[in-house]
Every structure is written in structure tokens, then in C-alpha cells.
Chains A and B, each alone.
Chain A
Amino acid sequence: MRKPRTVMRQWDWSVPSSGVYREVLSDVPVGWADEPRNMRTPPLLFIHGIAHGAWCFEENWLPAAAAKGFASYAVSLRGHGGSGGSRTLSRTLLRNYVHDVMQTITELPQPPVLVGHSMGALVAQLVADRYSPRGLVLLTPAPLTGSTPNLWHIAKQRPASAGAAVVGRTLPMTADQLFPGLDPATAQRYVSRLGRESPLVQYQLLGRRRIGPVRGPVMVAGTRSDSLVRVQDVERTAAAYGVKPTWLTRADGSAMGHDVMLDAGWDIALDQVLDFVTSKVAP
């Protein structure tokens, strides 16, 4: 899976990504706005997954992390949430998402810890291939080895969902996959906020990707009952970085759904992320 550092990026040079309006939601602790460079804790930049948007972090994690002293930012990738680019979503590629995250990073006062969820975790790894973040947190990460087995896994349970993705429609996702621990009303509210995904990106996710050497501490976390990103996917990603996976559970010990920032137990999951940042990311 490791490859040498990529210097030659001729497609980036010759066919650069366009820029679109970016929605960046943030919640920062008192004092950050005045002296952002002197803060001991690094900023956190959250990157969402398929069909989600920055809103999924705004709901719980941004305010909770800010209350614990972390400047927290979440970007909506193009065509998602409040960002522009929805009209060109059908021809959007992963490298456009990488561009959106890189642009967001350069606006931060110091290098962030990247926290990516699902497809956002893959984007975070692609970003880390060109930019050294202070740390890398991969939550229920889309596997670098390609999501073809995952699609097959979905097809066995929900053939219609998998079929939709195969023909280029956005992969349908349900409340019991994403946040089975929530009450139906809240769950329905979140499901209704899900948007579209780029069909080309969904196809790109099926393929294998290699990334170069990554500096800085890495945390890989998953849940044992995730039907989208399987236990072995999380284990494999963790092994690629030489770390042990963290398994996220609710207070009663039950495993969370795929959306660890929304499902019941999000507060415990966030604490584990913040513990990692506090203990492993050099101040």
C-alpha cells in the first residue's frame, strides 16, 4: 500500500481543479480568534463522508469540541451541504475534494489535525499524501484497498441500494445503517438532510489507492456493527499505519452505527478523538 512520495502531479499542473464556494462551519473556544497561533491545542478540521455535509459535525461535535478548548472546523466538499458545485457534481472527482480541503487548510492559522469520516477519511489520507497534518484521525474509513467488497456486502443485504450505486445514483443509506441508536424523529431529520454524491467519486471509491509516507500520529476508529465499512476494513487501515484500531461504543457497551458523530454515543466517540489529540499530537 505504501508508495514513494509523489512529486510528479502532472494532471494537477495541467488540468487544475476549479474553485467553488466553500461552506466552512466552525466553532472556536474563547481566545482563539485573538491569538490563534499561540493556542496549544491544534485546530481540528472535520471532513464528512458520502452524501453528508459539514452539518453532520455542526450538529454535535463542533460545539462540544470547542467547549473542550479545540478550535473546530468542518468543510462541506463541493456539491455537498452549503458549498457550491452541485451543478457540476456529476463530473466531480476525488481530487476536486482534495482541492477543497487543501484550500480550507490554507485558511487556517496553523496546521490542523484532519478528522475524516468514511469517504472523508479517504480524502483526508489523500490530503495527507501532500500536506503534513498535525495528526490524522480516520473514522469508519472507506478502505484504501477499494470498496468493491463493501458494495458486494451491501448487495447481499440490499440489492436495490447496491444496484442504484452501480448505475450511478447516490448510494441510498438508511437510518438503521447510519444511526440506529437515535429516536425515529431525529433519525428521519438527519436522513432528510443527506444529499447527492458524485457518481464518478463513488466509482473511484471502488478502486485501490496507494498513498505515500505519512508523518505524525494516526488514529483509526470504527464500530463493530457497521454494515458499510466492515470490521476487517478498519483493521486493515489501522494495520497500514501500524496502529491498533479503536472500537467506538455507546455507554452501555453496544456498538455504534456508521455515523459516529450523530448516533447515540457521539459524545463518547468525540472524547476518544480528543483524548488521542491531547495525548498523541505534540503540542
Chain B
Amino acid sequence: MSESPLPWAVIGAGPHGLTALKNLLERGIDAHGFERDSDLGGNWNYHAENSRVYESTHLISTKPFTQFPDFPMPDHYPDYPSHWQVHEYFQSYAGHFGLYDHLSLNTEVVRCTPVGVDAADGWDVTVCDRTTNTESTSRFGGVVVANGHNWWPKTPQYPGQDTFTGEIRHSAQYKGAEVLRGKRVLVVGAGNTGCDIAVESAQNSQSTVHSTRRGYYYNPKYAFGRPSDQTADLLLAMKLPLALRRIMFKTTLRLTVGDFTRFGLPKPDHDFFETHPIINQQLVYYVGHGDIVPRPDIDHFEDSTVVFTDGTEAEINLVIFATGYLAHFPFLDDDWLNPTGDHPVLARQIFTPRFDNLVVSGLIQPDSGQWTIAHWQGSLIAAYVELMRLDPARAQEFYRDVIEQTHVRFTGGADYKESTRHYYEIAHQEYLVALEGDLAVLERVSA
């Protein structure tokens, strides 16, 4: 390292960009963040071009695990805050820690170029100022990529889709229920967004069909007299084995909602904890009231009709594909993040074997709240960068060790269903134990 080490660049000012920036600065590492929108918040900045939250979005996990551990959400926030509250929360985090002074808004990163062999001399980061439309390039010691993975829509193609006479839009273009009014709506996909939109459609549209490829467990937001994610974590804290937790949750669903298939919902083809949890108390309610008609996968489109794989048909004039998003890094080369199949595979979901000074934060889909993990990813990255400066040899040793574990996934013992939605799925408790161990190594505290 040279006398005055180069600052680090942080791409994106969503929760992961903010925690990376805050933790780097806290350890005395000069860092600068770039955000293409006029405000921070990323996905949670409702008015931003690439924000995918809609009018009614609320958290599906509760405060204790979703908040930054060193900056809890205010007591007056509800269990499941709205996206407006989340955005305000991020703003007060940035204000408290003085992050605005280290953040360029309206500034889009268009290109990262490694300097020297394996970026040994750092990175040239080219940004575009979106107010003046001018480009500029500056050099950084390393780059934290935190541009999110829930903004680049993934849209399926079915036979006859191009000649379908109704409207087709991706949930990325869904901001509120007004587009549903008076329509015969088909919602495709049973992620949390798909279920939310199906429920909103049941409340607002003329009719609603919900197409899903498989059956899922629709978890309630409250169970055992408390928010269900807190119950789940309580069982984890009590170190109950996976099999027992499965039995308890299945029994609860059985005792409350009963057998999903009674409603015409498909029977889940997988076990509990094998798919990303769907937290939606209202979906089954509306199915039970006949306001949502469940259907299997789409077979093909015919003019204004959609034909499903079970042979049933529905007249539809608005299709919403809530079929998810793909990670997308337009400012990096495709082969830099260890692509395997069609998605990057990173050690600890953070480190790429290709460069030791290009790290990713936020490429995770936890089975619980996210921003506690955002904090610890930022903390780990900052501890790593700090060690790179204090003791480069030990930092290298850490990097090599962790890269050797690139194949390790943190599933909590479950076997995730093969699907793009599970590329970045992690079991939060197992993942955080790993980060805790890494931090102990980096900060050289004997455990």
C-alpha cells in the first residue's frame, strides 16, 4: 500500500451501500458512495426510477431483526413498518452518521476498470452526473458493489404471449392498485410481491386469477401470539432442530388455515424452509372468499384468453408478471463475479475469486429480516479493508481462506428448491455465525 491509501468506492445508497459506507468511515477508511437517484434508499426510495416498492409495501419481517443493530428503528414504528417509514429510517441513519457528506447523489456508475494486474493498483470508477450528463473518472483502492438485485425484471415467455390482446406488465411497473380497477387480472408468481398484488387485486379489480408453478406455505404474520418471524427466531434461539421446527409450523398452519388444497391451492411439493418464506396472511383469506382463483402455471395465451396447464381458461385483460428480478451489474464485466450458470457465486456472498478488492454487499435473500445482515456484511468488509492496510499479508491469508469456501452455502440444513429466486437464499442464523467467525479472525480476538 502507498503512503496515502486510495479511498474506496461504494456503488448504491440503498441499505447495503449505506452500511458499507458507514462501517468503512467508522474504521477511518476514506470512502465515497455513488447513487444514481436524487435521494438515498435504493429500492425503498419509492419515487426512484428503479424502485420496486409499491404504494402498499410493508416489511414482511419485523423490526428487531430487520433494523441495523447499531441504529434501531424508533419505538413508535409498528411491527411491520411501511416503505415510507423505512425510507425515513434510512435518511435518519445517514444523517446521524454523517453519510451525506460522503455521498454523490444523481451520480450513476457507468464503468469500473481494474488498474494493474488483478486490479493491484485499484479501480478507475467512471461516473455520470445525471444533472449535467457529464462523465468523470477517479481512482479508488477498491469497490463495494451494492446496487441491489431486485430491480432488473425477469419476464417469462409463453406461447402466444406476443399476440395476447390484453395488457402485460411486470410487477416492476406496479406502483399501486389504481391500474387494477375494473380489470380482469391475472397475477403470475407466488413470491411476496405476487401475493401482495393478488391480494390488492382481490380488493380492487373485477376478478383475480393467481397462477403459481407450485404450492407454497403461506405463513401468517403473527403466530403463537407474536410476530411469526420472532417466534421462528425464538425456536432457533432455543436450538430446536429443523425437523421439530417444521412440525411445529406445519401443525400451526394446519390448526389455523387447515389444508391448503381445500381451497384449490396446490399441495406444496417441498418441505417447510425449502423455499423463501412467503409471509402473507391475506392471500388464503381471499382465496377462501372466492376473490382470488388459484391456478397452476400458464400453458399458453390465445387472444384475450389465458390457458393454464390444467386445461382451465380465463378471460384476462391485465397480466402482471410478479416473476422476480435478476442480479444485474452493467458497470462490471460478466466474468468478474465468478458466474456459474447464469448467476454470480461468491464466497460468503461477498468475495469474488477474481479480485481481492472488489466486493459485493446485498446479494442475499435471507429467510428473515435483511438489514441486520447488511450491517454485518458492511462491518466485515470494513474490517477486511482495515486489515488490508494494517497487515496486508494477514488480509491476503484471510481472503485466500474465504475464497476456498466459495462453494459453501448457508442453508440452515434445508435443501432449497432449484429456482432463480433461491440463487441468493441464505439461512440467516447460519450465515451470521459464519460472519461472526470471520470478524473474530479479522479483528484477531481469540474466540
Contact = CB atoms under 8 A, between A and B. Distances in A.
Contact of A110 (B71, B98, B376, B445): B98
A20 B62 CA distance: 18
Contacts of B74: 103, 106-107
Contacts of B392: none
Given A2-B445, A213-B443, A9 B230 contact: no
A109 B443 contact: no
Given A14-B236, A99-B72, A110-B96, A4 B433 contact: no
A236 interface: no
Contacts of B234: 10, 14-15
A224 interface: no
Interface string B213-247: 00000000000000000111110110000000000
B76 to A, nearest CB: 7
Given A111-B96, A130-B70, A132-B26, A10 B236 contact: yes
Given A13-B64, A16-B230, A103 B439 contact: no
B408 interface: no
A3 B63 contact: no
Interface of chain B, helix or strand or loop or mixed? Answer: helix
B92 A4 contact: no
B424 to A, nearest CB: 19
B253 interface: no
Contact of A5 (B26, B76, B97, B443): B443
A12 B96 CA distance: 23
A13 B447 CA distance: 23
B72 A10 contact: no
Contacts of B237: 10-11, 13-14
Interface of chain A, helix or strand or loop or mixed? Answer: loop
A107 B73 CA distance: 10
A131 interface: yes
Given A8-B436, A108-B96, 20 more contacts: A5-B440, A7-B432, A7-B436, A8-B432, A11-B237, A12-B69, A13-B237, A13-B368, A13-B372, A14-B234, A20-B75, A37-B95, A37-B98, A99-B72, A102-B72, A106-B96, A109-B96, A130-B69, A132-B26, A213-B445
Interface of B: 26-27, 62-65, 69-72, 74-76, 92, 95-98, 230-234, 236-237, 368, 372, 376, 379, 429, 432-433, 435-436, 439-440, 443, 445, 447
Interface of A: 2-16, 19-20, 37, 99, 102-103, 106-111, 130-132, 212-213, 215
24 contacts: A3-B445, A4-B436, A4-B439, A4-B440, A5-B443, A5-B445, A6-B436, A7-B436, A9-B69, A10-B237, A13-B64, A14-B234, A15-B230, A16-B230, A20-B75, A103-B74, A103-B75, A106-B71, A107-B74, A110-B97, A130-B69, A131-B71, A132-B70, A213-B445
